[in-house]
Amino acid sequence: MIWSWERVVEALPLLLQGFQITLLATVLGTLIATVLGLFIAVFKRVLPTPLRQVVHWASEFVRMTPLVVQLLFVYYLLTGVSALVIGVVVIGIHYATYMAESYRAGIESVPKGQWEATVALSLPATRTWRAVILPQALRATIPSLGNYAVAMFKDTPFLFAISVVELVTSAQQFGARNFAYTEAFTLAGLIFLAASYPTSILIRRLETRLAQY
């Protein structure tokens, strides 16, 4: 038999446990990436040139090296730290460099006149960013940030490299124990689809709505 509904029913609880780890890593990683990415984008504009270059090259290094290599490097470097914690932090930092580029594009999309108006009004830098620049920049970047969150969700299987038992690893383990790889990986794919597709639709609708303002 190439398909067994009995195996599907048997695999579902185990895969849902793995999905909880996948979801946890995605949510926490997205929070890290969203906040850190914003700081990176702002630092690239406000820091003195030498420090700005340090931030730029550091973020470029992270963005241009494979996620799985970063996971393995930090995992073997910090042997006393939980693999899940390492996975969440590394994947969050990795995607922060991508989100920083979205923030940068949003900040640069703010009309030059807005910047000049804040100078004419002698607004403090903190208020300029908080009340004028960021509200306009964030409205333009929210859809792309959502897309990166979905991409992060689909990259969580890389956590298998540091022994985190997420959804795909759970499927692999079940398939190995029961010789039911077809059922396990099909079910894992359907769970990924069921979680990511509605999110993608919401992001597209949000993008359409924000474009009207």
- Give the model confidence (pLDDT) of 88-119 as tens digits: 999 999 999 999 999 999 888 888 888 888 88
What burial class does residue 76 get, using C-beta atoms within 10 Å of its C-beta: 0-12 exposed, 13-18 middle, 19+ buried?
Answer: exposed
What pLDDT is stored for residue 1 in this prediction?
Answer: 63
CA–CA gap between residue 52 and residue 104 (Å, rounded): 13
CATH architecture of 19-165: Orthogonal Bundle (1.10)
Q: What are the structural domain ranges in the chain?
A: 19-165
What burial class does residue 132 get, using C-beta atoms within 10 Å of its C-beta: 0-12 exposed, 13-18 middle, 19+ buried?
Answer: middle
> What pTM value is reported for the model?
0.89
Q: Which amino acid is at 161?
A: A
How do residues 43-53 score in pLDDT, each as one tens digit?
998 899 999 99
Tracing tokens 């009995």 back to the chain, one arrives at 6
